[in-house]
Chain A
């Protein structure tokens, strides 16, 4: 291969990828295609592996219990061990049941429905610098882009990208996430912004003379037309006048434990109350949308 051709290849490759990028920016065709194929294929692999893993774990547990039982000759001891082993299994199931009951115990806001979803994994692959999770619901099963997700404690984030049966959701701590919130007591409004993993969130555009108490809850204001009004989001940990801006420097931590999410609830708008401009096919320009 001649040096000229060697130079032409990267130039052509760069032009090709820039062309694809620009075309996709206008049409979103490639993003939708990759979500429907790549994300879905990876989601199916993950679901399959999860199923195999659960099955192996349960078989192994049974085998381990049986081998322990064989060491005991007496019938009663054998029964006792069997029961103990079952108890272990049941305790895990009980914990799951309690977790799911807790989720089910939450009543959805008016005109909104709740759908349960399982977390398949955290962010995956080299193209996912944003802080997110992969869930086992897609646009066919209720997880359309910008659907809020929550845990029993409060809002956890929103669906960012969806394949037919798998979706990726961004978590509150991602620096690109913005949510319109209001103080539960003070009723002061602002925009809550993520600052990265394990870092406190920041409430932006709060007037200098606002009075916030440490520990006050921040709830969704509903002004972004993405999150329903009145759902707890975060708790204020500090509020002090800023020397650099005319606004108050307010820091808060999310109520939801974002490092240990196993199940989430999707807060889906009731289809009958959907406004025409909020149809799922459209890309609304809201505060919660990634910049």
Chain B
């Protein structure tokens, strides 16, 4: 991983954490995993995913496991969707974003039940919808910025 790449990711994580501070309940680190998956760099994707999972689990109040399950689900949808769409296709982005919203709702609800805690369904539903919408926007913006900064990091 080059110094420029590392700096880029550092900036991404700082911006992501700050956005999460501004918009409670939303994940702004997931676009990083998706962009990295699109670049097809396995080691980089594993490192970025591990960092994202640790940050989300550290910041979270749910028991450890929810972030892993969620990131795995979205990654799976991404890998399956790649068979049918090009990564740059907006329908693909909508599919992954919708899947992220639905899985966020399901997994949070499941983890709350396991912890015998009642999360507000209304809040959770709103946040899942916002998550789906935010993911499309942030994913596209981050992919564009990444392409500007590192043009050789092509999407497969």
Q: Do A and B come from one complex?
A: yes
The reply on B2 being an interface residue by CB < 8 A is no
- Indicate if the CB atoms of A21 and B63 lie closer than 8 Å: yes
Could you tell me the distance in whole angstroms from the C-beta of B148 to the nearest C-beta in chain A? 23
The B interface, classified by DSSP as helix, strand, loop or mixed, is helix
Task: Give the docked Cα–Cα distance between A85 and B124 (Å).
Answer: 45
B59 surroundings in chain A (CB, below 8 A): 38-39, 42, 124-125, 127-128, 134, 168
A124 surroundings in chain B (CB, below 8 A): 17, 20-21, 24, 59
The reply on B92 being an interface residue by CB < 8 A is no
A122 surroundings in chain B (CB, below 8 A): 21, 24
A290 surroundings in chain B (CB, below 8 A): 61, 115, 117
Query: A20's closest neighbor in chain B, by CB?
Result: B65
The reply on A37 being an interface residue by CB < 8 A is yes
Residue from A24, A48, A120 in contact with B64 in the complex, judged by beta carbons closer than 8 Å: A24
Given contacts A24-B64, A46-B17, A291-B115, contact A13 B72 (CB under 8 A): yes
- Indicate if the CB atoms of A10 and B64 lie closer than 8 Å: no
Residue from A25, A42, A134 in contact with B55 in the complex, judged by beta carbons closer than 8 Å: A42
Interface residues of A in 26-53 (CB under 8 A from B): 30-31, 33-42, 45-46, 48-49
The reply on B155 being an interface residue by CB < 8 A is no
A46 surroundings in chain B (CB, below 8 A): 17-18, 21
B68 surroundings in chain A (CB, below 8 A): 16-17, 20
- Indicate if the CB atoms of A126 and B26 lie closer than 8 Å: yes
Query: B122's closest neighbor in chain A, by CB?
Result: A196
Residue from A18, A30, A160 in contact with B57 in the complex, judged by beta carbons closer than 8 Å: A30
Task: Give the docked Cα–Cα distance between A9 and B77 (Å).
Answer: 12
Query: B68's closest neighbor in chain A, by CB?
Result: A17
Task: Give the docked Cα–Cα distance between A34 and B67 (Å).
Answer: 11
Query: A18's closest neighbor in chain B, by CB?
Result: B65
Query: B111's closest neighbor in chain A, by CB?
Result: A127
- Indicate if the CB atoms of A34 and B14 lie closer than 8 Å: no
Q: For chain A, which range describes its interface: under 10, 10 to 19, 20 to 34, or 35 or more residues?
A: 35 or more
Task: Give the docked Cα–Cα distance between A10 and B75 (Å).
Answer: 10
- Indicate if the CB atoms of A160 and B65 lie closer than 8 Å: no
Given contacts A24-B63, A39-B58, A170-B61, contact A17 B108 (CB under 8 A): no
Given contacts A13-B72, A17-B72, A41-B54, contact A127 B62 (CB under 8 A): yes
Query: A53's closest neighbor in chain B, by CB?
Result: B18
A49 surroundings in chain B (CB, below 8 A): 14, 17-18, 21
- Indicate if the CB atoms of B61 and A127 lie closer than 8 Å: yes
- Indicate if the CB atoms of A127 and B54 lie closer than 8 Å: no
Interface residues of B in 109-143 (CB under 8 A from A): 111-112, 115-120, 123-124, 127, 131
Could you tell me the distance in whole angstroms from the C-beta of A241 to the nearest C-beta in chain B? 25
Show 23 residue pairs from A and B whose CB-CB distance is below 8 angstroms, ordered by the A residue: A6-B80, A14-B72, A17-B65, A30-B57, A34-B58, A39-B55, A42-B59, A49-B21, A125-B27, A125-B55, A126-B67, A126-B70, A126-B104, A127-B62, A127-B66, A127-B67, A129-B25, A129-B62, A129-B117, A129-B123, A134-B59, A163-B58, A290-B117
What is A's interface to B at a CB cutoff of 8 Å?
Answer: 6, 9-10, 13-14, 16-18, 20-21, 24-25, 30-31, 33-42, 45-46, 48-49, 120-130, 132, 134, 160-161, 163, 168, 170, 175-176, 196, 290-291
A35-B58, A127-B67 given; 10 more Cβ-contact pairs under 8 Å: A25-B63, A30-B57, A42-B55, A126-B127, A127-B59, A128-B24, A128-B25, A160-B61, A161-B61, A291-B116
